[in-house]
Amino acid sequence: MRFQNAFFIFIPPLQDKKTKMTKINKRNKIILAILFFGPLIFYLTLLTGTHQYTKLPVLTQQVENISSFKQAGNLAFTDHVTIVAFFGKDLLLHKTNALNLNEKIYKNFYGYPDFQMVIVLPAGSETEAAQLKKEMGTFANIEKWYFVFLQDSEINALFNSFKTPYTLDPNFYTPYAFIIDKQLNLRGRGEDKEEDGPLFGYNAETVAVIHQKMVDDVKVLMSEYRLALKRTKDKG
């Protein structure tokens, strides 16, 4: 017997279709679980400060308070978490430092009530500072960026009080940014592989250092204060 113009339609077994749907449902559940619990686990990790330390080490105690200089007005390191940088006389040459700090540090922490950025500059840099602030203000709220203009001897006095292994160049510039806590202590890492010892400051010329180290360390310090506040409230 001959069959002409015949064709066949293959219908997959019902069991195979059910198995496929079961696998898809399981995969979707796993994806949803990751999306839901992933950010929660990450957030809890930040709160407990498990990045490098439960507390960010104090490397220098009692640095000079910026309020010691009349040019600072009402600005003070006390009762604030402060990022301090020394951009020197050629401010606009080091604009990248400001942009790195703004993008990776300031935007992440400016919502914290006691957070502030303090940029120390030689007197006479006011015009360049205004230009930089105007440029940065086009894409960020920079109300917690403070520029302080000091005499050369005052810049040296402030910087030397940090007691770091770094130096200012002849234009009073250093690429390093520093973390000062509410009690006038300079915070950093007790041990850092790349530094082969303590890490006193964070190279703001390199966005990787700011992103991979400084962001993490500021989070640890914030968590430390948050935990201390919680303990105080619990006792009360």
Residues 12-48 have pLDDT tens digits of 555 555 565 665 666 666 666 565 554 444 444 444 4
pLDDT of residue 222: 95
Closest by alpha carbon to 169, among 122, 100, 130? 122
Query: pLDDT below 50 — which residues of the chain?
Result: 1-3, 7-8, 38-51
Closest by alpha carbon to 103, among 65, 148, 136, 59? 136
The pTM (predicted TM-score) of the whole model is 0.77
pLDDT of residue 22: 64
pLDDT of residue 28: 65
**Which is it for strands 189-192 and 197-199: parallel, antiparallel or unpaired?**
antiparallel
* Contacts (Cβ under 8 Å, ≥6 apart) of 108: 215, 218
Which tokens belong to 140?
């960020």
pLDDT of residue 54: 77
